Amino acid sequence: MPVAAAQRARRRSKRGTYAKSSETRERIFAAALAVAGKEGIHRASVAAIAKKAGVAIGNLHYHFGSRDELLDELMRWLVSGLLTEVRAAVDACDDFFSKDEAALRAYLAYVHRNPACTRLAEEVRLHHPKLYAETTAMWLAMFRDEIREGVVRGELRAMGEDEVAALAYFLLGARYFVDQMIEGAGGRDYPGDDVAVAAYVDLTRRGLSHTEARTR
Amino acid sequence: MPVAAAQRARRRSKRGTYAKSSETRERIFAAALAVAGKEGIHRASVAAIAKKAGVAIGNLHYHFGSRDELLDELMRWLVSGLLTEVRAAVDACDDFFSKDEAALRAYLAYVHRNPACTRLAEEVRLHHPKLYAETTAMWLAMFRDEIREGVVRGELRAMGEDEVAALAYFLLGARYFVDQMIEGAGGRDYPGDDVAVAAYVDLTRRGLSHTEARTR
Amino acid sequence: MPVAAAQRARRRSKRGTYAKSSETRERIFAAALAVAGKEGIHRASVAAIAKKAGVAIGNLHYHFGSRDELLDELMRWLVSGLLTEVRAAVDACDDFFSKDEAALRAYLAYVHRNPACTRLAEEVRLHHPKLYAETTAMWLAMFRDEIREGVVRGELRAMGEDEVAALAYFLLGARYFVDQMIEGAGGRDYPGDDVAVAAYVDLTRRGLSHTEARTR
Amino acid sequence: MPVAAAQRARRRSKRGTYAKSSETRERIFAAALAVAGKEGIHRASVAAIAKKAGVAIGNLHYHFGSRDELLDELMRWLVSGLLTEVRAAVDACDDFFSKDEAALRAYLAYVHRNPACTRLAEEVRLHHPKLYAETTAMWLAMFRDEIREGVVRGELRAMGEDEVAALAYFLLGARYFVDQMIEGAGGRDYPGDDVAVAAYVDLTRRGLSHTEARTR
DNA sequence: ACATACGGGACGCCCCGTTTAT
DNA sequence: ATAAACGGGGCGTCCCGTATGT
C-alpha cells in the first residue's frame, strides 16, 4: 500500500497535526478489524464497518478511498504484525533452539492477545494472494536463515539446501493450527503454553524416536 | 454429503434409468469445483457455475436446492476426499514411521492431482466452521491414534497425553504449506517428492539435531 | 369457463371414460382451493398445489394447460357457487321480504360452510376483473329484478329505475362484511344468524316498505 | 405511517433544509401508488415503481428500506386517508341522519378524487390482514358509536347491542360497491351522487327511524 | 478540511411457470 | 404421468460517486 500511505502522508502533512481525523481513521480501522474478525473479510461490508465505527459511510471512503484500500491496509497490518513480533523474539536469542522456542512463544503470545488475527491472516491468501505469497516468502526465508546459521554454528546436523527449504515449509506449517489448539473445543483441551512448547521443542530437537539416532 | 447422496439415490431408484440427471448433477458439481478453485468459494456465483456447466441457473437449484447447499456438498467432498485417501494409505502400513511417510506421500499425491483442493479445503474454515472443526478433529484423532499405537509398539518414546495432543497439532500443521511448497514460485524451487518426504521423515524420525538424543 | 370446459370435454371424449384422470383432476382442483384459501390466489404456486395434491407439477399442466387456466377455473367455480345457492333460495320464496331474508340466510349458510370462499371470491376482483364484473352484474341484476317485482306486487313502495339500481349496489354491499362479522375477533362477538338476519331484515323492511312503520 | 413520518422529520431536522430528499421520497411514494393502482399491489415491483418515479432501484431501498416497508407505508396511507376524511365530515354534523349522509357524501367525494384507492384499500385485506382488521374495527366502532348516540338522542328507535353491532357491519358493507357503482360499465349507469345518496338515505332513514314513514 | 446525506447502478440469489424428453 | 431442464424476472444488497452542509 505504498500509494495509499503516501497519499495519507501527503494529506496530513498539508495541515500539520490533525488529531481528530486520525482518531476517526483509527476507529474505522479498528471497526474494520472487528467486523472482519467476526464475519470474515469478504463479508465485512462498508455499511457494517461504518456502523460499528459510528461514522457515515462516505467518511470511510474519505479516509481510505475505497473498501478495497481499507481492507488492503488491514491485511498488510495483519500479516506484518505477527511476523515483526516473532522476528524480534528470534533476534534476541543466540542459538537455534533458543530462537526456535522463542519464536513459538512469541507466536503463542500473539495468538493469546489477538485470537482472530491468525485466522484473518489466512484469509489474506484468498483476497490478496500476492501479499500472502510475499509474506510467506519472508517467513520461509527467516526459517531457512535460522536453519542455515544453526548448521554453521554446529548446532544442527549438516543438510543440503533442498532439505533446508523443505524443512522451512514444515516448520512454518507446524504453527498453523496453534490457534485452534488454543481455542478448539472451547479451549478445554489446551494443555497450556509450556506443554505445547515442550512438545514442539522435543519434536524439533530430538525427534519422536526414543532410539538412538542411527547414521543414515 | 450422505444426506444429499441418499436423496439422489432415492430419486433415481424411483424411476429406474434416468442417467441424464446424475450426469448433469456431476457436471454442475465439477463446474462448481472449477469456479471455486479459480476464484475462491465466496466468489463462486451460481451464474458462473451454471455457465461453466452449460446449464440454466434454475437447473442448478433443481439439483441442489440453493447455492449454499451446493457449496455445502462441495465442501464436504473437499474435506472428506483427502482424509479418506490418507487414511487408506496409513492403514496399509504397519509401523509408525511407515504410516507417517505413507501419509505424507498420499498427501503429496493428492495435491499433485488436485492442486486447488487443499487451498479450497482451507476456505471451509471460513464458510463452514463447524464442518471444518469436525474434519480437523478427525485428522487430529488419526494422528493421536497413530502416535499412541507407535508408543505401544515401542517405536516411539513414551509420552504423556498432553504431549500426544500437542504433537498431533504440529504434525497436522506441518502439511499445511505443502501445496505452496509444490506450486510456490511457479514450482521452480520444489525439490521433488522424495526430498520433501526425506526432510519430513528425518524431522520426525530423529529430529533436527545431529547430536545423539540425550535422555531427558 | 366455457373454453376450458370445452377443452376438457374434448379431451375426455377422445378416450371414453378416464376415471383415474378425472380423479386426479379433482385432487388438483381441491388442492388449488386449499392452497389459495390459505395463502391467497396470487401466492398459490403450481409447486405448492402439486405438492398438496401429491402429483407431479407437469401433471398439473397436463390437466389444466397452465396455472392461469387452473386458477381461472377455480375462480369461476368460486363466484358461481355462492350465486347459485342464493338464487335457489330466493326462487323458493314468493314475496320480496321472504326472498331477501332467504337470500341472506343462504349467504350465511354458505359462509359457515366455506369460510374462505367469500374472501377468495373477492380476490377475483384483482386477478380476473372481467369475470368479477360479470358476476357482480349478475348479482346486481338479481337484486334489481327482485326489487322491481316487489314493487309490481305492491310489497315495496314505488321507486324510479335509478333508485332501484343504487339500492341494488347497497344491498349487495351489505353482505360484504358478513364473513368478517362471523369470523372477526375469533368469532367471539358474532351474535348468531338469527340476530344478524333480524337486524338486516328490519333495516330493509322498514326502509323499503311503503307501509307505515309500526311503533315497535 | 406515523413511525416513518417521524423518522423522516427527525432526519430532516438534523440537517436543516434538504428538500431534495423528501421530494424524491414523495415521488417514489406517488409512483408506488400509481403502479399499485394500475396493476394491483402484489404486482407492484420495485423495478416498475423506480422506473415510474424516475429513480434508481437502490434509491428506493435507501428511502424505504425494502419493498415491504414501502408498501406497508402505502397501505397505511390508503386505509387512513378515507377514514380520516369521513370522520371529519361526520363530526361536522349533529344528528344521525345528517352524519350518515355526510359520511356517504365524503366517501363519494373521496372515490371521485381517488378512484383506485378504495380498490387498493381492499387489497390490504390480502397483504396486511392485521392492518385491515384494525381499520375495519375502527370503521365499525365509528358506525356503532353513531348509532348508539342516535338512539340516545331519540333519532333512532331503541335497539340492543347485538343489533347495533350487526347493523354496523351492514352499513359499512353498503359502501363497498360504491366505486363500482361509479365506475362500473364505464360509468354510464351511474345516476349521480344525489340520486345515490337519496337512495341510501331513504334506505337507512325509513328503516332506522322510529318515526312514522311519510308518504314520499 | 471534514462529515453527512443523497442518488445510482450492478449483480447475486432464488423462485416460478413452462416445455421437452422419458 | 413424471422427471429434468430452461429462462425470465423479482428483490435485496452492496459499493461507490456526488452534492451538501459545517
- φ, ψ of residue A56 to 5 degrees: the values are -80, 155
In this predicted model, what pLDDT tens digit does every residue of A106-117 receive, in sequence order? 999 999 998 888
Cell of A17: 497535526
In this predicted model, what pLDDT tens digit does every residue of A177-194 receive, in sequence order? 998 899 877 777 788 899
Q: In this model, does residue D182 exceed pLDDT 50?
A: yes
CB D144 within 8 A of CB D156: no
Residue of A nearest to B139 (CA): A177
Instruction: Kindly tell me whether chain D and chain C come into contact, counting contact as 3+ Cβ pairs under 8 Å.
Output: yes
Q: 3-state DSSP call for residue C208? A: helix
Give the pLDDT score at C20: 54
Distance CA B144, CA B89 (A): 16
Distance CA B87, CA B93 (A): 10
- Strand E nucleotides in reach of protein CB atoms, 7 A cut-off: 1-22
Give the pLDDT score at D20: 63
Q: What is the mean pLDDT of residues D198-211?
A: 73
Say if the Cβ atoms of B126 and A125 lie within 8 Å. Answer: no
CB B80 within 8 A of CB B109: no
Distance CA B195, CA B29 (A): 35
Neighbours of A129 (CB within 10 A): 12
Under 8 Å CB-to-CB from B46, ≥6 apart: which residues? B57, B60, B61, B67, B70
Q: What is the mean pLDDT of residues D128-147?
A: 94
Q: In this model, does residue D13 exceed pLDDT 90?
A: no
Give the pLDDT score at C39: 86
In this predicted model, what pLDDT tens digit does every residue of C171-191 receive, in sequence order? 999 999 998 899 877 777 788
Give C204's contacts in chain D (Cβ within 8 Å): 203, 207
Taking the CA of residue D43 and the C1' sugar atom of nucleotide E8, their distance in angstroms comes to 24
What residue is closest to E10 (Cα–C1')? Answer: D58
User: Which single residue is written with the C-alpha cell 368479477?
Assistant: C132
- C38 close contact with D: CB closer than 8 A: no
| Closest residue by Cα to residue A104 from A210, A215, A6, A197 | A197
Distance CA C55, CA C57 (A): 6
CA distances to A32, A34, B126, C41, C47 from C123, rounded to whole Å, are 50, 50, 47, 7, 20
Q: What is the residue-wise DSSP string for B73-124?
A: HHHHHHHHHHHHHHHHHHHT--SHHHHHHHHHHHHHHHHHH-HHHHHHHHHH
In this predicted model, what pLDDT tens digit does every residue of D140-159 receive, in sequence order? 999 999 999 988 888 888 88
- B174 close contact with A: CB closer than 8 A: yes
Taking the CA of residue B7 and the C1' sugar atom of nucleotide F14, their distance in angstroms comes to 36
CB A103 within 8 A of CB A64: no
| Closest residue by Cα to residue B131 from B73, B44, B175 | B73
Q: Which amino acid is at B67?
A: R
Q: In this model, does residue C108 exceed pLDDT 80?
A: yes
CB D200 within 8 A of CB D108: no
In this predicted model, what pLDDT tens digit does every residue of D75-123 receive, in sequence order? 999 999 999 999 999 999 998 889 999 999 999 999 999 988 988 998 9
Cell of D122: 381492499
Cell of B89: 494409505
Say if the Cβ atoms of D165 and C189 lie within 8 Å. Answer: yes
Distance from CA of D13 to the nearest CA of C (A): 41
CA distances to A141, A162, B182, C213, D9 from B188, rounded to whole Å, are 16, 12, 8, 109, 66
Give the pLDDT score at A20: 52
Q: In this model, does residue B216 exceed pLDDT 60?
A: no
Q: 3-state DSSP call for residue B12? A: helix
Cell of C109: 349458510
pLDDT band at C155 (very low <50, low <70, confident <90, very high): confident
Within chain D, strands assigned E span none
Lowest average pLDDT, out of A41-55, A133-147, A196-210, goes to A196-210
Distance CA A127, CA C39 (A): 45
Residue of A nearest to B36 (CA): A126
CB C102 within 8 A of CB C89: yes
Cell of C148: 322491481
Q: In this model, does residue D208 exceed pLDDT 50?
A: no
Query: Average model confidence (pLDDT) for chain B?
Result: 84
pTM: 0.84
| Closest residue by Cα to residue A127 from A63, A195, A74 | A74
Give A206's contacts in chain B (Cβ within 8 Å): 206-207, 209, 213-214
Say if the Cβ atoms of A176 and B178 lie within 8 Å. Answer: no
In this predicted model, what pLDDT tens digit does every residue of B186-196 receive, in sequence order? 777 788 899 99
Say if the Cβ atoms of B177 and A172 lie within 8 Å. Answer: yes
pLDDT band at D210 (very low <50, low <70, confident <90, very high): very low
Give the pLDDT score at B19: 38
CB C206 within 8 A of CB D163: no
Give the pLDDT score at C157: 84
pLDDT band at B83 (very low <50, low <70, confident <90, very high): very high
Q: Which amino acid is at D211?
A: T
Query: Average model confidence (pLDDT) for chain A?
Result: 83
Q: In this model, does residue C214 exceed pLDDT 50?
A: no
A43 CB-side CA count, 13 A: 11
Instruction: Kindly tell me whether chain A and chain D come into contact, counting contact as 3+ Cβ pairs under 8 Å.
Output: no
Say if the Cβ atoms of C213 and D212 lie within 8 Å. Answer: yes
CA distances to A147, A193, B174, B207, D65 from A99, rounded to whole Å, are 10, 16, 19, 16, 57
CB D66 within 8 A of CB D102: no
- B95 close contact with A: CB closer than 8 A: no
CB B160 within 8 A of CB B176: no
| Closest residue by Cα to residue D107 from D166, D41, D174, D167 | D174
Q: 3-state DSSP call for residue D162? A: helix
Cell of A105: 512463544
Give the pLDDT score at C102: 96
Report A:106-135 residues touching B (Cβ under 8 A): 119, 122-123, 125-126, 133
What residue is closest to F5 (Cα–C1')? Answer: B59
CA distances to A206, B1, C63, C131, D198 from C145, rounded to whole Å, are 108, 69, 39, 21, 20
Give the pLDDT score at B157: 82
CA distances to D76, D82, D103, D135, D168 from D110, rounded to whole Å, are 16, 7, 11, 17, 21
Q: What is the mean pLDDT of residues D47-57?
A: 91
Give the pLDDT score at A191: 82
In this predicted model, what pLDDT tens digit does every residue of A25-57 receive, in sequence order? 888 999 999 999 988 899 899 999 998 888 888
- φ, ψ of residue A185 to 5 degrees: the values are 55, 35
**A213: DSSP letter:** P
Give the pLDDT score at B20: 59
